[in-house]
Amino acid sequence: MNTGVLLKAPPDESSAPADSRRKIGRSNGRVIIYAVLTVAAILWVLPVWWTVIDASKSTSDFFAHPFYDLPHEFNLFSNIATAWTNASLGSGFINSILYGVVGAGASVAIASLASYAIVVLRIRGGFTIFLIVFSGTVFPLQMYIVPLFKMYNSLGLYDTRIGLFLFYTAVSVPFCTLVLRGFYSTVPREYREAALVDGVSEARILGKIYVPLSRSAVLVLFLFQFTWIWNDLLFGIVLSASPSVRPVMASLSSLLGVYAGSSLPVVLSGALIAASPTLFLFFGLRRFFVQGLTLVARRG
């Protein structure tokens, strides 16, 4: 109890001024740090601010005045309406919500089953199977575009929602398996033993014991995979062509191509639409995202 007191240096006349000098130095440092952080924060916020105000301008207003001026009339909703309907961002938005929810959900479920078999049921060759599944995260995605394009064409999956849903599920499974495998191995085996004695089936044990106990990991994985799918551009443009199938980022990218010269405010309002779900998720569930980042970090 007294060790803290014992370790402290005995009070000393000369230390007082030195101490206060250090304190002043430290508070100066603090002021500098806050100043630097504030400047950086302004630099980080300004692009968002400009996007919001310019997305609210009418096209003529945008071209008549500098971009950093406040809008003279509030046109945000009509810009959003234009981007949503005329530029088919709306269908992309709905498609991507669908791909994100179904793809992330399916991949978490599939990875959950695989992890359960590998670490809980301890199937023979389980580690090899894990390596096979995990290998899906190792190669750069560019390796997949040409064969998938050809395969999708020959199987009639090209430019279909099912095709994109299958791809997004497949691409999310390996990482989910890596994480859930880790989580399921920490669940005490006695829970399963007890449930088995009571005659509970394996599938119910997975659903009623393992998934609830790994709730935070499952939620984080869902959010991360949803975000990944939402932000995908490459496979959206490789595996689909029509607006009724294309995901949101492919629509946004073509919106930029079509409207950049004629009406930038429409493009910027489209950017706001495309960013809104992930912004909402990140700030609504920020705690989970920080947890998720530690999962990603642990991946290394």
Partner 1 sequence: MRHDQPSQKRRAKDLGRSYGIVFTKVARRVHRSPKVMKEPAAGSVRAAGRSPDNSHERAVREGRRRRRRRHLSAYYYVVPAVILVVGMFWYSIIVTIEISFTNSNGLSSPHFAGFANYSAILHDSALSTNVANTLIWAVAMVLLPAGIGLIAAIMVHGKRGGDLFRSVFYVPYAIGFVTTGVIWSFLFGNNGLSELFGALGLHSLASVQWLNEVPLNTYSMIIASTWQTMGVDMLLFLVGLGTIDRAVIEAASLDGASGWRMFRHMTFPLLTPMTRVIVAISIVNALQAFNIIWVMTQGGPYGSSSTFAVWTYQESFELFKMGYGAAISVVLTLFVLIVSFGYLRRSLKEATA
| Stretch of 10-18, 70-78, 86-94, 282-290 lying at the interface with partner 1 (CB under 8 A) | 282-290
Q: How far is the CB of 94 from partner 1 (least distance, A)?
A: 17
Q: How far is the CB of 39 from partner 1 (least distance, A)?
A: 11
Residue 143 near partner 1 by CB under 8 A = yes
Q: How far is the CB of 85 from partner 1 (least distance, A)?
A: 19
Residue 290 near partner 1 by CB under 8 A = yes
Residue with smaller CB distance to partner 1, 26 or 215: 26
CB-based burial of residue 112 (10 Å sphere; 0-12 exposed, 13-18 middle, 19+ buried)? buried
Site for partner 1 in 220-259 (CB under 8 A): 227, 230-231, 233-234, 238, 249, 252-253, 256
Give Cβ neighbours of residue 210 (< 8 Å, ≥ 6 apart).
112, 116, 120, 184, 187
Site for partner 1 in 164-223 (CB under 8 A): 166-167, 169-171, 173-174, 177-178, 181-182, 189-190, 193, 196-197, 202
Q: How many residues does the chain have?
A: 300
CA–CA dist 285, 274 (Å, integer): 18
Residue 130 near partner 1 by CB under 8 A = yes
Q: How far is the CB of 244 from partner 1 (least distance, A)?
A: 20
For tokens 């960013």, the residue is: 275
| Stretch of 11-19, 46-54, 70-78, 218-226 lying at the interface with partner 1 (CB under 8 A) | 46-54
Q: How far is the CB of 82 from partner 1 (least distance, A)?
A: 15
| Stretch of 13-21, 40-48, 71-79, 209-217 lying at the interface with partner 1 (CB under 8 A) | 40-48
CA–CA dist 31, 33 (Å, integer): 5
For tokens 């992930």, the residue is: 278
Q: Please, where are the H alpha helices in the chain?
A: 3-7, 15-55, 59-64, 76-85, 89-115, 126-134, 142-155, 161-184, 189-197, 202-205, 211-213, 215-231, 234-239, 248-259, 264-284, 286-298
| Stretch of 70-78, 80-88, 127-135, 209-217 lying at the interface with partner 1 (CB under 8 A) | 127-135
- The answer to whether 270 and 254 are in contact (CB under 8 A) is no
Report the half-sphere exposure of 242 (CA within 13 A, side-chain side).
Answer: 7
Residue 48 near partner 1 by CB under 8 A = yes
Site for partner 1 in 79-118 (CB under 8 A): 110-111, 113-114, 116-118
Please name which of 181, 187, 183, 179 lies closest in space to residue 205, comparing C-alpha atoms. 187
Residue 300 near partner 1 by CB under 8 A = yes
Binds partner 1 by CB under 8 A, chosen from 68, 101, 156, 242: 68
Residue 127 near partner 1 by CB under 8 A = yes
| Stretch of 29-37, 79-87, 97-105, 211-219 lying at the interface with partner 1 (CB under 8 A) | 29-37
DSSP 135: G
